[in-house]
Amino acid sequence: MTIDTGSAGWVPDSCTLPTAAQPMRVEEFDRFFADSVQRAVRADRTRLDLFIDAAAEAVGRDLAARETECCSFFTFSFEPTAGGSLMHIDVPATHIEVLDAVESRVGAVSR
């Protein structure tokens, strides 16, 4: 598997979202990461945990639902925390490089 570096570095070749729509999705995630992520923790090789504002959970759930339609290897789950919500992003071991790229993107654009 390879990563399409033309789409902010984290869109896998296996993504079924039309190529023309990929930059818009990346922008949506960038905006979500920048506006809502308080901190990110790499829980293990196959999981990235994003601590997000509680008010942003609906946006996160919407993005997660749409992302799993085109990249079905992602698993997203949410749980409440004292300071907001926790968004878990899980991938199978065969897609760790995608999660690595997502983690890098979060670090590049989050507050």
This prediction has a pTM of 0.85
What integer pLDDT is reported at residue 40 of this predicted model? 97
Hey, what domains does the chain have and what are their CATH numbers?
Answer: 18-109 (3.30.1360)
DSSP characters for 53-87? Answer: -GGGHHHHHHHHHHHHHH-TT-EEEEEEETTEEEE
Q: Mind listing the pLDDT tens digit for each residue in 56-88?
A: 999 999 999 988 988 889 999 999 999 899 999
93: which residues sit within 8 A by CB, 6+ positions away? 45, 46
Mean pLDDT of the chain: 86
d(Cα 67, Cα 46) in Å, to the nearest integer? 17
Low-confidence ranges of the chain (pLDDT < 50): 1-8
